Amino acid sequence: MLKKVLASLVFCAVALAQATDNLVGGPFVVNVTPRSATVVWIAQSSQARLGPSLDKLLRVSPALRAEKVSFAGLDPGKTHHYDVLGSEEGKGYFKTPPAEAAPFHFVAYGDTRTRHDVHRTVVEGISKVEPDFLLHTGDLVADGIDTAQWPVFFSISKELFRKTVFFPSLGNHERNSRHYYDFFDADKSYYSFNWGNAHFTVLNTDVGNIAPGRLAREAFWKEQLKWLEEDLAMHQKADFRFVAMHHPPFTAVKRRQGGNEYLMSLLPIFEKYKVAVVFTGHDHNYQHHLKDGVRYVITGGGGAPLYPTDAPIPGLTVAAESVENFVHVKVDGKQALLQALTPDGRTIDQIKLGTDAPFPK
């Protein structure tokens, strides 16, 4: 009898704790394949205060917990609906990648870390095109270690995230924080995925935060380069190979120009394996560079303070504008159309890939 009473009390305590949790992030979907997906939502169970004395606890930070459910045996190329909480705020939907070539579209954007009102307008602009998935080029928040910043990011993105799939990249402002890995169900800082007839490779160029020592950083980079070559070599039959990473190898921002040996070591690999486009962020503007058949697109206009495009590179820079932006990419067979857009829908730049035939509307 006593055991039953204790069990009942424990059940009630757990149920009460769950009932008092607040949803502060999501739900959203990550790690999608044609037949599997993971739904994540972030709950706040309590909070902590910090200050110089007990009567001046001015900083407040939430205690967050990532809840995750993985599904397998899904149908490729279909829309799937979910409900994680039994209420309207826990409902959403997403598409699984098609098993074979089929038209799809996605959005690349990044540097959403500050100017939250601007980040909100960018999200509103993205929502209008209803992408199959999102490719974020990094710097989601200003400091990934600061727990209090993540609910702000998720609150701005909430309605968009409930209707698509999210593939993030690590930026330097994430500080290689465990929050990033926990919230997005990531076990490594670089990965790849397929969507229809295209292959996507997501790299971690934030070498400075990956390890405290030079030898450890160099070992990490060597390991990632080896993996990158193998990954691209295995997907040469894909009609398009896209790469996403945070730091750009080229920039039209004068004060940030200068070679980075880590980034420069990527260029021969991109060229050898015929990467179509490398999406990056880090510079808060829009840029388009072309070198040896590979296009480098900087889309860092997600909310962080804008940088001037005051030093276009002769022979490399195709377009550059200091403006908030995202890039909408449509893929149809062996053709792809990239449109760099402002939040209000103005076209900044347009890139056609593949055959010379007119791209279908």
- Give the DSSP H/E element, type plus range, for residue 207: helix 207-210
Give the integer Cα–Cα distance in Å for 358 and 361.
9
* Geometric angle at alpha carbon 295, from 153 and 201, rounded to 5°: 55
Question: Cα dihedral angle (201, 207, 212, 214), rounded to 10 degrees?
Answer: 110
Average pLDDT over residues 288-308: 98
What confidence tens digit (pLDDT) does each residue in 131-158 have?
999 999 999 999 999 999 999 999 999 9
Q: Report if residue 70 sits inside a domain.
A: no
Residue with tokens 């926990």: 182
- The confidence score (pLDDT) of residue 9 equals 38
Q: Report if residue 279 sits inside a domain.
A: yes
- The confidence score (pLDDT) of residue 6 equals 39
Q: Which DSSP category does 236 fall into?
A: T
Point out the least confidently predicted range of 14-18, 244-248, 269-273. Answer: 14-18
Residue 108 sits in a domain whose CATH number is 3.60.21.10
Give the integer Cα–Cα distance in Å for 300 and 240.
22
Do 122 and 302 contact (CB within 8 A), yes or no? Answer: yes
Q: Report if residue 115 sits inside a domain.
A: yes
The three-state secondary structure class of 254 is: helix
Which residue range(s) make up the domain with 113?
A: 101-354
Q: What is the number of structural domains in the chain?
A: 1
What confidence tens digit (pLDDT) does each residue in 24-83 have?
999 999 999 999 999 999 999 999 999 999 989 889 999 999 999 999 999 999 999 999
Give the integer Cα–Cα distance in Å for 263 and 127.
32
Q: Report if residue 20 sits inside a domain.
A: no
